[in-house]
Amino acid sequence: MIENIEKEQLQDICSGLLKGFIEWVDMNDGAEKAIILDSAYQFKLSMLEQDQVTLQKKYFLSSKELSEEELIILLNQWKQTFSQLVNSDLDRVSKDSFKIWFLSLASSTLPALEEDGRILWSKLIEGLEHCKNFTIEDIPFPLNTITKN
Pairwise pLDDT comparison (136 vs 2), residue with the higher score: 136
Number of domains making up the chain: 1
pLDDT tens digits, one per residue of 92-139:
999 999 999 999 999 999 999 999 999 999 999 999 999 999 999 998
Mean pLDDT of 29-49: 95
Nearest residue to 101 via CA among 74, 128, 123, 127: 74
Where does the pLDDT of residue 39 fall: very low under 50, low under 70, confident under 90, or very high at 90 and above? very high
Phi-psi region of 83 (alpha: psi -120 to 50; beta: other; left: phi over 0): alpha
Q: Which domain holds residue 84?
A: 4-145
Mean pLDDT of 64-88: 90
| Model pLDDT, residue 3 | 65
Q: Answer yes or no: is pLDDT of 53 > 60.
A: yes
| Model pLDDT, residue 146 | 56
The rounded mean pLDDT for the chain is 89
Q: Answer yes or no: is pLDDT of 147 > 90.
A: no
Q: What is the DSSP letter of 140?
A: P
Neighbours of 94 (CB within 10 A): 16
Contacts of residues 129-132 at CB distance under 8 Å and 24 or more positions apart, as own/partner, are 129/30, 129/34, 130/30, 130/31, 130/33, 130/34, 131/34, 131/37, 131/38, 131/41, 132/34, 132/38
